[in-house]
Amino acid sequence: LFMGGTRGGGRGPGLSLIAANSAALPALVANLAVEIAPIRVNLIAAGFVDSPLSATLLGADLDKRRAQLRATLPIRRVVEPADVAALAVHLMSNTAVTGATYDIDGGQQLLPGE
């Protein structure tokens, strides 16, 4: 089970490696699923997750970002680590799933400009 970011991983100064990694992981996972079958390979691609890392990266802007996401995300709440963990448990226990990328971002990629 691979962990990565949602499509593109962001754009801007200092984000080149993150963007390249986010873009390449789905292809890697799909190819590995074929190459090393029957071992299963999947990718969880997370958007914003309200975690200690997010708090460190956003600092004083964290509460503003949380409020923005609650107001705009289709799920009307912020994705939490427990949401990501539940998806990981599902992917590890469902033996029929392989080669797939699962975005977990509360619908953020569905929004204009995201």
- Rounded to the nearest angstrom, the gap between the alpha carbon of residue 79 and the centroid of all alpha carbons in its chain is 10
Whether residue 19 has pLDDT greater than 90: no
90 within some domain: yes
Assigned token pair, 44 = 């969880």
pLDDT at 12 over 80: no
pLDDT at 9: 59
**Number of structural domains found in the chain:** 1
- Please report whether residue 113 resides in a domain: no
Band of the pLDDT at 55, cuts 50, 70, 90?
A: confident
**Residue 14 tokens, joined:** 């200092």
Kind and range of the H or E run holding 19: helix 16-35
Does 67 map to a domain? Answer: yes
Residue 40: pLDDT band (50, 70, 90) is very high
Strand order in the sheet with 43-46: 2-5, 43-46, 101-104
Q: Is 21 helix (H, G, I), strand (E, B) or coil?
A: helix
